[in-house]
Structure 1
Amino acid sequence: MPFSRLALSAVLLVVLSCSPAAAEAAIGVAMDDFSYTDTSAEPANQTAAHERRLSAFMAALRRDIGEGGRYRLVPSAKDGAAFKVVGGIQKTSTLVQWAKVAVIDVGTRKLVMDKLYTFRGDNDESWERAEIFVSREVMAALATPAPVTLAVFEFELEDTTAASVGALAASDASYLAEVTGGVREALGHSGRYRIVDVGREAATAGALRDCGGCEAAIAKGLGADQSLIGVVRRVSRTEYTLGFQVRDASTGAVLARGDSGLRLGADYSWKRGAVRLVKDRLVESQQATDAARR
């Protein structure tokens, strides 16, 4: 093979291996033109100027999102859109405008982002600044998975001490309630999970730790994606362990679990240990996995 043909083949091989088609497929994003409303009551009719600026805003937003090849703009979900971006802009006074922007995960029908912004000015420069900021926010939202709806059931006590009498003491119930509340709060604040109210749905199921995964079906009935049960195991009055387990509500498959190992501390330290455990083994672990996928 002549050198020129050999070199050309090598170049083509490099180009094809680095092309978007050879890389991970671009994620489809559908985006309708934002609406525009002027409630400023200004005497001058600025409809033409607003239409021009909105058109430029949308063109720049679509360009920014499509730039780099990670996302591709498509007309609708039928055309392969994984996300849909919707929004509207309202002018409330001479110098103040509001922009409402939402990003919807098409597959789960969940809001990935729903924010209201304000920007000052009504000229080409102010609209350009607003578009740059909004595009960054939308890109960040697209890279963040939709919150998982999670049913966090009441933590249970497994008392293995010789002094155990079977019935749950009022003080133990109080500490377990603190554990459950702390875990729900930590998971909800992480942004990765949306906590579902379990009410009294699990009351008739007995000890969920021994029901063979029945908590997953209960969670599914509550509309949750996943379930979480937790156990405090009392080894002695100053020693305990903590454990949790997460299941897929649809399949019952175990998705995550964690165990603290033996800890020292009085009953009031249960909450601190449980919150630390779920942050380390669930929240931070999941964040690391999400980051690796991006």
Structure 2
Amino acid sequence: MRVSNLLRARALGKPTTRSKVRNRLAGLGATALLFATLGVAPAHAVEALVVLPIKLLDTSGEPTDQAAQHAERLVRLADGLATDLTRAGLYRATRLPADLLRRACPSEDGACLLKAARARGADVIFIGVVHKSSTLILQLWARVVDARTGRDLFSRDLNFRGDTDEAWHRAAAFLLSQIRDGGLEDR
């Protein structure tokens, strides 16, 4: 645009090519600043997941009482799973403490478990059971279910070897990768 035409356009209050570009750049800058300040919302809201206390079924027949060690490992497994699922951005995960669950559902029937988890704000529920059949062989049954319907959304039966802290830690890491990479069934 020539200088005389530019001056005439400004005098008449008409937008010029330069002012249009400047306005667009200002708008883009404001939008970028807004996204940088507020962050971009995810395409879908992160669901609330409640991790129920993980149970142990020990049919190994070992003479040594390992109840205290197993209780610790079960709590660490549940805590770690809730923390890691939240950290990965997959869920807003919390644990339902065993004492609260015992008071709410003494019989631990399915309908009561769903109700107790929903009362804690759950959209989905993690249910886990570890079966120790011998010193070396353990199996972890893991389910994620819809808190409203009770329908399985994710189901894995994982075997791991060794009843040690390291073996349990590796099993937990593998379970997390299965949940992260396996995805849940569409509801």
Alpha-carbon displacement from aligned partner over 1:21-64 (angstroms, at most 9, x marks no partner): xxxxxxxxxxxxxxxxxxxxxxxxxxxxxxx5796238977xxx
Code of the aligned partner of 1:284: D
Aligned equivalents of 1:233 and 1:164: distance in 2? 17
**156 and 164 in structure 1: CA distance in 2 versus 1, 3 angstrom threshold:** farther
Aligned equivalents of 2:29 and 2:135: distance in 1? 64
How far the C-alpha of 1:174 sits from its partner, in A, is 1.2
How far the C-alpha of 1:88 sits from its partner, in A, is 4.9
How far the C-alpha of 1:244 sits from its partner, in A, is 0.9
State, as a whole percentage, how many aligned pairs show the same letter: 28
Conservation of the 8 A alpha-carbon contact between 2:46 and 2:89:
yes
SS in 1 for 2:86: helix
SS in 2 for 1:237: coil
TM-score by length of structure 2 reads 0.70
Aligned equivalents of 2:118 and 2:82: distance in 1? 18
Which protein is richer in helix relative to its size? 2
Aligned equivalents of 1:207 and 1:219: distance in 2? 15
Conservation of the 8 A alpha-carbon contact between 2:126 and 2:142:
yes
How far the C-alpha of 1:196 sits from its partner, in A, is 2.6
Code of the aligned partner of 1:158: L
SS in 2 for 1:251: coil
Out of 96, 100, 104, the residue aligned to residue 201 of structure 1 is 100
Is there any run of 5+ residues in structure 2 with no aligned partner, and where?
Answer: 1-22
How far the C-alpha of 1:156 sits from its partner, in A, is 0.9
How far the C-alpha of 1:229 sits from its partner, in A, is 1.2
SS in 2 for 1:151: strand
Out of 62, 66, 78, the residue aligned to residue 180 of structure 1 is 78
Alpha-carbon displacement from aligned partner over 1:129-173 (angstroms, at most 9, x marks no partner): xxxxxxxxxxxx33xx321110012211011122489x9721111
Give 1:212-251 correspondences, 5 Å limit: 212=110, 214-251=112-149
Aligned equivalents of 1:242 and 1:169: distance in 2? 17
Aligned equivalents of 1:187 and 1:207: distance in 2? 28
Is there any run of 5+ residues in structure 1 with no aligned partner, and where?
Answer: 1-51, 62-86, 90-98, 104-112, 114-140
Aligned equivalents of 1:236 and 1:179: distance in 2? 20
Q: Does 1:100 align with 2:37?
A: yes
Q: How many residues align?
A: 162
TM-score by length of structure 1 reads 0.47
Q: Does 1:56 align with 2:27?
A: yes
RMSD: 3.3
Aligned equivalents of 1:286 and 1:244: distance in 2? 14
Ranked by relative contact order (alpha carbons within 8 Å, sequence separation 6 or more), the top structure is 2
